[in-house]
Amino acid sequence: MCGIVGYVGPRRALDVVVEGLRRLEYRGYDSSGVAVIGADGLQVAKKAGRIENLDKELATRSITGSTAMGHTRWATHGAPNDRNAHPHTDASGRVAVIHNGIIENFGALRAELERDGVELVSETDTETVAHLVAAQLEAQGGSLADALRAVCRRLQGAFTLVLLDAQEPDVVVAARRNSPLVLGVGDGETFLGSDVAAFIEFTREAVELGQNQIVEIRRDGYVITDFDGKPAEGTPFHIDWDLTAAEKGGYEYFMLKEIQEQPAAVRDTLLGHLVSGQIVLDEQRFDQQELRDIDKVFIVACGTAYHAGMIGKQAIEHWTRVPVEVEMASEFRYRDPVLDRQTLVVAISQSGETADTLEAVRHARDQRAKVLAICNTNGAQIPRESDAVIYTHAGPEIGVAATKTFLAQVAAVELLGLALAQARGTKYGDEIIREFDDLCSVPDAIAEVLTVVEPVRALAREIAQSKTILFLGRHVGYPVALEGALKLKELAYMHAEGFPAGELKHGPIALIEEGLPVVVVMPSPTGRPLLHQKMLSNVAEIKARGARTIVISEADDSAARNLAAHFIAVPSVPTLLSPFVTTVPLQVLAAEIAQARGCDVDKPRNLAKSVTVE
Ligand code: AGP
């Protein structure tokens, strides 16, 4: 998730673009850069780190012009450094490109370019586009838009691409597929942005581009076509938001926007991991035999990431039959765990800087265990100190409470389970592809849940003043119950507790009293009939004692619906994928209760987004 700005018009284009990047910095801040066409041709400036670093670089340059584009990067492929910062150019410097998304087939494209003698200077997928478009212009002539259309027809994956051509100084050309891009239409000037925050101070007339569309913007307007060159339409709209609202996509809090971004976070995390029927990881420095030799897995993490690990345990053990222990990172090294070269330690951390998890990684390395990181921050300390990495692609998560990074972590740890099953042969190739396809269907299921959460918001306002709320689950529903309780604690400062439902009768049932809200995460009645039956008994037991039963289950689970004071229906998905859909109502419940209690949803008291002290 990166920030993109484009501009053609009478203003000093550099100022418009850099100011726009400042407003989009929440979309990514690993590096930033600009490209401008003016009297001195096409000029590029880019620096790793925050925009202040780009400002310092620009202060040493004299870059003027009225056609420009800019980019703030959230690194996916290639560490966050100057070399990998956008824009990228072809060897001659004629074509510059910036990109948001993931080009799944960039490996094959890089290999083709290298065979043609092209020297690529970065590790990014983006740079391949600059060389391909320049080669297209060289070979076929035509316009930049023609060349980009031809190249886009070869790209797989999700992308927003924006390009400049030194030989077409009055136009900015862009393309989009499964990645955001909007136009701003001014008087004698036209803008591009990954969202309207990029240009809202200049115009409130916008046009949203559709899938597989190319747009050329000029001072006097824009032209839209599809990838084959046929005329196409965008969707015009008037922007009602103010600047602050625009940065939050119109939501009052970043977290509410991030809850809505979860389908894309999961989809982007899975992109590119199935190549020719094989699961591939992002970065892996141990071979298939080493994966086969693994006889024990530890998952170490904190907080929400720990809950993702609990779900990962169920998937990895079910698919590989390798024993998995999930450990609080802060406890792991102090209990002197038994580790050796056949142990795989999986460190899950969205920030990649959590001190407890980092120290657990260091301890594992000291004991010669192999370490794999699951991280949302490219180049962070934990992935840097690991043997292998799976990056989640949730984009920056501004809200302190983890939401989209949690579901992305679950996707990544289940992906790891498939990679281990593939290496060990505990699942056939066709079974792995089927499981991966099931995973890829999850974003739609999450999106479906997001369309029906209004009743959850109403319920939240009803129970917002409860003294506590309990959460029950079994199997993969138990970590979901823990996550629901954690969200409520950290967002609404309300006591909450998650239990494995089977534990109720061993003590916690004494807490049940008239009207006490109890959230129950049901197993699938078809996927886990025995577990479902036992859970029905648990719900009946607490209902008989006066609990206000809030039950999450598949829509056709009539038995659960009959026991529910409030029934929250979710789509039917395979058991190991059910956390993707059962978690979302709990995130919404906690956020709504927090708002009803006047809490700051994005910045809960006493908390930090990354806990860099033990
Ligand atoms: C989650 O909502 C919390 N903000 C917190 O528990 C978080 O998950 C934990 O601190 C781990 O952070 P990490 O993923 O960056 O390592």
Give ∠ CA 228-231-234 in degrees, rounded to 5: 110
**Distance, CA of 381 to CA of 351 (rounded, Å):** 9
From the list 177, 199, 170, 247, the residue with the least C-alpha distance to 70 is 199
Q: What is the pLDDT of residue 25?
A: 82
For residue 192, is it within any domain? yes
Which of 147, 153, 172 lies closest to 223 in space, CA to CA? 172
Is the pLDDT score of 26 beyond 80?
A: no
pLDDT on residue 295: 96
CA-to-CA distance for 479 and 476, rounded, in angstroms? Answer: 6
Lowest mean pLDDT among 221-230, 278-287, 464-473, 543-552: 278-287
Q: Which atom of ligand 1 is nearest to the CA of 382?
A: 16
304 in ligand 1 pocket by Cβ < 6 Å? Answer: yes
Same-domain pairing of 467 and 428: no
399 in ligand 1 pocket by Cβ < 6 Å? no
Number of C-beta neighbours around residue 181 at 10 A? 26
Identify whether 614 is part of a domain: no
Q: Supply 250's token pair.
A: 């119109």
pLDDT tens digits, 175-201: 999 888 999 999 999 999 998 989 999
User: Which domain covers residue 341, as residue numbers?
Assistant: 254-449
For residues 31-45, average pLDDT: 97
CA distances from 554 to 210, 486, 570, 587, 594 (A): 33, 23, 5, 18, 26
My answer on whether 262 and 224 are in the same domain is no
Please identify, among 393, 414, 449, the residue that sits at the C-terminal boundary of a domain: 449
Pocket test for ligand 1, best of 306, 310, 354 (most atoms within 8 A of CB): 354
- Structure confidence at residue 248 as a pLDDT band (50, 70, 90): confident
Between CA 221 and CA 225 the distance in angstroms is 14
- What phi and psi, each to the nearest 5 degrees, are found at residue 568? -115, 110
pLDDT in the model for residue 331: 96
Q: How far apart are CA 217 and CA 188, in angstroms?
A: 11
Contact 587 CB / ligand 1 (< 6 Å): no
Residue 171 shares a structural domain with residue 303: no
377 CB near ligand 1 (under 6 Å): no
Give residue 577's Cα distance to chain centre.
17
The pLDDT of residue 242: 81
- Closest residue by CA, ligand 1 atom 16: 349
Confidence tier at 278 by pLDDT (50, 70, 90): very high
Q: Is the domain of 239 the same as that of 379?
A: no
* Co-location of 225 and 283 in the same domain: no
| Per-residue pLDDT, 486 | 98
Q: Write out pLDDT tens, residues 478-506.
A: 999 999 999 999 999 999 999 999 999 99
| Domain end residue (candidates: 217, 246, 275) | 246
Query: How far away, in angstroms, is 402 Cα from ligand 1 center?
Result: 6
Q: What is the per-residue pLDDT across 357-374, written as a single tens digit (0 to 9) for each?
A: 999 999 999 999 999 999
355 exposure class (CB count in 10 Å sphere: 0-12, 13-18, 19+): middle
| 324 and 473 inside one domain | no
Is 606 among the domain residues? no
Is residue 547 scored above 90 in pLDDT? yes
Query: Is residue 283 over pLDDT 80?
Result: no
Q: How far apart are CA 612 and CA 261, in angstroms?
A: 26
What residue's CA is closest to ligand 1, atom 6?
A: 303
Q: How far apart are the C-alpha atoms of 453 and 398, rounded to whole Å?
A: 22
Share of the chain above pLDDT 70, in %: 100
What is the band of 459 on the pLDDT scale with cuts at 50, 70, 90? very high
In a domain? residue 584: yes
Specify the 3-state DSSP secondary structure of 156: coil
Q: Is the CB of 113 under 6 A from ligand 1?
A: no
Closest ligand 1 atom number to CA of residue 409: 14
What's the CA gap between 444 and 428, in Å, rounded?
Answer: 26
The CATH number given to whatever domain includes residue 103 is: 3.60.20.10
Residue 608 in any domain: the answer is no
Rounded Cα–Cα distance for residues 70 and 97 (Å) = 10
Q: Contact 42/87 with Cβ under 8 angstroms? A: no
Ligand 1 in reach of 89 Cβ (< 6 A)? no
For the cut 90, the answer to whether the pLDDT of residue 377 exceeds it is: no
pLDDT (tens digit, 9 = 90+) per residue, 134-168? Answer: 999 999 999 999 999 999 999 999 899 999 999 99
Q: Which of 40, 112, 37, 101 is nearest to 68 (CA)?
A: 37
Query: What's the gap in Å between 488 CA and the centre of ligand 1?
Result: 14
Residue of 262, 301, 321 lying closest to 579 (CA atoms): 262
Q: What distance in angstroms lies between residue 299's CA and the mean position of ligand 1's atoms?
A: 15
| 606 has pLDDT over 80 | yes
What's 533's domain CATH number? 3.40.50.10490
For a ligand 1 pocket test, name from 254, 258, 299, 302 the mutation site with the most ligand atoms within 8 angstroms of its C-beta.
302
CA 46 / ligand 1 centre spacing (Å): 31
Residues 310-330 pLDDT 10s: 999 999 999 999 999 999 999
Residue 265 binned pLDDT confidence (cut-offs 50, 70, 90): very high
Measured from the Cα of 610, ligand 1's closest atom is 15
CB of 601 within 6 A of ligand 1: the answer is: no
Amino acid at 540: A
Same domain, 222 and 318: no
DSSP code string of 542-597: HHHTT-EEEEEEETT-HHHHHH-SEEEEE----GGGHHHHHHHHHHHHHHHHHHHT
Q: What is the DSSP letter of 61?
A: S
Q: Is residue 607 part of a domain?
A: no
* Cβ of 359 less than 6 Å from ligand 1: no
Q: In 425-523, which residue ranges form alpha helices assigned H by DSSP?
A: 429-440, 442-450, 454-463, 477-492
Q: Tell me the Ramachandran region of residue 372: left when phi exceeds 0, alpha when psi lies from -120 to 50, beta otherwise.
A: beta
Do residue 88 and residue 173 come from a single domain? yes
Our mutation pick for probing the ligand 1 site, out of 253, 255, 304, counting the most ligand atoms within 8 A of Cβ, is: 304
Query: pTM of the prediction?
Result: 0.84
DSSP string over 392-405 = -------SSS-SHH
Of 330, 375, 611, best ligand 1 pocket probe by most atoms within 8 Å of the beta carbon:
611
In terms of domains, do 267 and 203 share one? no
Q: Are 443 and 465 in the same domain?
A: no
Which of residues 414, 449, 484 is at a domain's end? 449
Please list the active-site residues.
2, 609
- Asked whether 378 and 391 are in contact (CB, 8 A), the reply is yes
Number of domains in the chain: 3
In a domain, 406, yes or no: yes
> In Å, how far from its chain's centre is CA 4?
17
Residue 239, helix vs strand vs coil: coil
Q: How far is the CA of 78 from the centre of ligand 1 (A)?
A: 24
User: Does residue 156 lie in a domain region?
Assistant: yes
- 336 and 286 share a domain? yes
Mean pLDDT of the chain: 95
Query: Do both 338 and 433 map to the same domain?
Result: yes
Site of tokens 């916008």: 206
Find the 401 Cα to ligand 1 centroid distance in Å: 7
